[in-house]
A and B are shown apart, each in its own frame.
Chain A
Amino acid sequence: MKLPNKARAGNRSRRASGLLRHGLTAHGVLCYVFLYLPILVLVAFSFNASRYSGLWRGFTLQWYEALFSNAALGAALRTSLVVALASTAISTVLGTAVALGLERFAFRFRPLMDVLLYLPIIIPDIAMAVMLLLFFVLTRVPLGVGTIVVSHVAFNVSYVALVVRARLAYFDISLEEAAQDLYADEWQTFRRVTLPLLMPGILGGALLAFTLSLDDFVIAFFVSGPGATTLPLRVYSMIKLGVTPEINALSSLMLLASIGLIALSGALSRR
């Protein structure tokens, strides 16, 4: 009597597994709708002719035109790029160097250095912003573009080091020995072998640093002072003044830029 029982159970379990599979698919599709619907609606309404309503009133490009004639926005974009480029350059050099030091040498204080390097990644950005603001105010450092760059480097070093160390963990040390065996001194070995092989990791780290710097609002909000306005600061003050289609248009362009950055990082990781 066992066989028919088992067969029936098998039928039931097949039906249940089909249900599970369809349920999972439906869930997955809904999740991606959840992730993309807000962005798509946002982009769609950047072409909406109505200024105030959530109702569709016809297609227009006027909000994009308005953006390009907005001088304050241009200035904010320039500030953001300066800050991002400067902090990326500094943190890429520092982060790569510290990654090399930590991966290549074993020393007593290495665990402490690890902790110091990881803390800026896990600490909430509002806490980091407060710390830095207090520090600059009490040491009477004038707030401005410089303080934003310094603050961005303080967290970006950690991210660059993280990415470069991941790449270094797979580095075949015998390649460096081979170079030295072939008459390359330490510097030539670094220039001709270590650096080129590490480059995808370094560029990946730099790209991450660049993105994080462009993305940061909270820290810049605290340490920027009255003179320096980055793009996120500008966007924030625009949002605070009221929802307008210009912000939708600006958001759409920023979205496009970040997709460009993703494509770039994809191309880098394939190398």
Chain B
Amino acid sequence: MAEYAVELRNVSKFFGSVAAVRNVTLGIREGEFFSLLGPSGCGKTTTLRLIAGFELPTAGEVYIGGELQGDTPPYRRPVNTVFQNYALFPHMTVYENVAFGLRMRRLPENEIRRQVHEALEMVRLSGLERRRPRELSGGQQQRVALARALVNRPRVLLLDEPLGALDQKLRRAMQLELKNLQQQVGITFIYVTHDQEEAMTMSDRIAVMDQGAILQVGTPAEIYECPASRFVADFIGETNLLEGKVVEVWDHHALVLVDGARMVCGAVPEGVRVGQRVTVAIRPERISLHAQPPGPLAIPGIVRDVVYTGADIRYMVRMADRVTVLVRSPNTGNGSTPHFLRNETVYLSWRPESARLLVA
């Protein structure tokens, strides 16, 4: 068995002179739920289409199951796709839609019937075989698209923003359902989305893309905890990004001067020198607020705004002259976290490891 279900080696795709995908190298493991995450136009859909065979790479190689694809047409690739707007055949019934792939592979009719019923049962659509796609709700159409792809037992299932057209509540439900389904069938899923929360919820690993390039690949926790760049830190979750200058470096730690305040950073990459301009990234929920300075490193500030969102309370705290940071403190309701008012003076503190030093 090949090491990777899908592997891209130095793949680039140009449309005219515009690069949609730049020099992407990526390995997706067998049985993995893998997400391509990025803003619209970042090249994630093009990457998926390169794997499906709808586009051919300008440079580089695509391997599926260890086999080089070259200019293999889509209908000879062991992958199936769930399209963004489902692309269900409007002139066919649900049954005919799901049976389409099996018919094209000339399976015997009774075998087709058995497999189609099984697939429809799996997505809980039994009894709707004779409906036309336009007679179904959005959620049902989505399930038909899923059954139509999965019934072929592809080596890899490609999903292009499959939940994009559904409303928020249905989306949440389908996320969990998809994840369960993937574990049940054990097929490799490659999932394209621009919704970071969705990617975090479902994926084993995520590749964050921007402007055609892959910026970071890792598990949701790795990407959230250890963003490799400003873009990743900013795109995944909320982050305070503070510009500063390195004053001192010691043993994976650094002291950074930000707007007159001194901050200790824990996770400092190799090669950071004193005097370098860097960005300090701190998640808002990792900062705690105090009425009295808890230690010598606490930074004073003034509360500029308080927003109550239910699950937590969000403070905008102005440090020194220019820099404002966002602080999120959980609304525990047991009095363990103090509440502050507008214009109150507070002290900010965090564990050094929570302040990440980013060079890019």
Contacts and interface: CB of A to CB of B under 8 A. Distances in A.
Are chains A and B touching in the complex at the 8 Å CB cutoff?
yes
Given A174-B85, A178-B83, A178-B87, A185 B73 contact: yes
Contact of B87 (A172, A183, A185, A196): A172
Given A182-B80, A185-B73, A185-B75, A177 B104 contact: no
B83 A179 contact: no
Interface string B58-100: 0000000000000001111001110111011111000000001
Most buried by A among B52, B80, B104: B104
Interface in A164-184: 172, 174-175, 177-184
A180 B77 CA distance: 10
B100 A182 contact: yes
B89 A180 contact: no
Contacts of A179: 89, 100
A25 interface: no
Contacts of B79: 181
A197 interface: yes
Contacts of A178: 81, 83, 87-89
B101 interface: yes
A17 interface: no
Contacts of B152: 182-183
A174 B87 CA distance: 6
A183 B53 CA distance: 12
A188 interface: yes
A102 B101 CA distance: 29
Contact of A183 (B52, B83, B84, B105): B105
A183 to B, nearest CB: 4
A186 B73 CA distance: 9
Nearest to A178: B87
Q: How large is the interface on B (under 10, 10 to 19, 20 to 34, 35 or more residues)?
A: 20 to 34
Given A177-B83, A178-B87, A180-B74, 16 more contacts: A172-B85, A174-B84, A174-B85, A175-B89, A177-B81, A178-B81, A179-B100, A180-B54, A181-B79, A181-B80, A181-B81, A181-B149, A183-B75, A183-B76, A183-B104, A183-B105
A193 interface: yes
A181 B91 contact: no
B194 interface: no
Nearest to A182: B101
Interface in A119-158: none
A181 B85 contact: no
Interface string B87-126: 1111100000000110011000000000000000000000
Interface residues of A, number: 18
B54 A184 contact: no
16 contacts: A172-B85, A174-B83, A175-B89, A179-B89, A180-B54, A180-B73, A180-B74, A181-B74, A181-B149, A182-B152, A183-B152, A184-B100, A185-B73, A188-B104, A192-B100, A197-B90
Contacts of B84: 174
A227 B54 CA distance: 55
A131 to B, nearest CB: 41
B104 A196 contact: no
Given A177-B54, A177-B74, A178-B81, A184 B104 contact: yes
Given A180-B74, A181-B75, A181-B81, A197 B100 contact: no
A178 B141 CA distance: 14
Contacts of A175: 87, 89-90
Interface string A194-205: 001100000000
Contacts of A196: 91
Contacts of B105: 183
A41 B100 CA distance: 57
Contacts of A174: 83-85, 87
B286 to A, nearest CB: 43
Nearest to B91: A196
A149 to B, nearest CB: 33
A192 B103 CA distance: 11
Most buried by B among A180, A183, A186: A183
Contacts of A183: 75-76, 101, 104-105, 152
